[in-house]
Amino acid sequence: MAAKAAESMDQEGSNPNIAYSARPGNAIEFQICPASIARINNDYRYRQGEGQVWGGRLGDWPEEARLTTSILEMKSIPRTGMSAEEHLVVDDSNRIRFADARMPSILATPWLVAHLEYAARAAIAPCLEDHERSVGTFVEVEHLAPSPEGSAVVCRARVIHVDGAVVTFQVEAHDDVELIARGLHRRRVIDVDRFARRVARKQAGR
């Protein structure tokens, strides 16, 4: 499965699951390894209670371990190529200050990842019914370059694979100068009421 980035990249990808190749016009083609898609979409892991760990396909899990079992009520099925952007400016609310005073303040990785997730959430939001939301279940992001205070950052997410309620995205972020992050993100469509009941049971069991 392939998706072309709109911007050029200055270095080859280090993720063994993604092949990056240059194309005319400084575009980059992403070839997502099929084995990687299978791994992140099928090899789920979930822990509920001490000593209880399940793996394999979702259909093999006990009911209490599932995020949802009702996924067919979406307004429409997310399609490969659907995308969205999130914008931010690096400031006091999202920067990190290092203990070493010689290090400049830059965009913090957790905030960068959060905005990549926001972009992915927005990309498929039009497909969901009022009682449905999507939740993040997997993130693999390389933070490639620092973005100093005042930098304008654009975070993009694009659907590259859909497997029922599980949607996989190619994510990337650019600041005013260069590509600063790239990777994969996965979200699952859930029923809000069912999810809330699950959280309530967990709170009650403390």
Q: Which of 192, 171, 160 is nearest to 117 (CA)?
A: 171
Q: Which residues contact 16 (CB under 8 A, 6 or more apart)?
A: 33
Planar angle of CA 165, 114, 191, nearest 5 degrees: 30
**34 is a domain residue:** no
pLDDT digits (tens, 9 = 90+) for 59-69: 444 444 444 33
What pLDDT score does 74 carry? 79
**49 is a domain residue:** no
Number of other residues whose CB lies within 10 A of the CB of residue 118? 17
**8 is a domain residue:** no
What pLDDT score does 172 carry? 99
Identify the three-state secondary structure at position 25.
Answer: helix
C-alpha 39: how far from its chain's center?
15
Q: Which of 50, 46, 44, 41 is nearest to 65 (CA)?
A: 46
What stretches in the chain show pLDDT beneath 70?
1-73
Distance between CA 148 and CA 120 in Å, rounded? Answer: 24
Q: Which of 168, 182, 147, 174 is nearest to 82 (CA)?
A: 168
**36 is a domain residue:** no
What pLDDT score does 73 carry? 67
**66 is a domain residue:** yes
Q: Which of 3, 22, 25 is nearest to 11 (CA)?
A: 22
What pLDDT score does 95 carry? 94
CATH number at residue 94: 3.10.129.10
Q: Answer whether 140's CB lies under 8 Å from 183's CB.
A: yes
Range of the domain at 175: 61-204
- Domain total for the chain? 1
What pLDDT score does 44 carry? 37
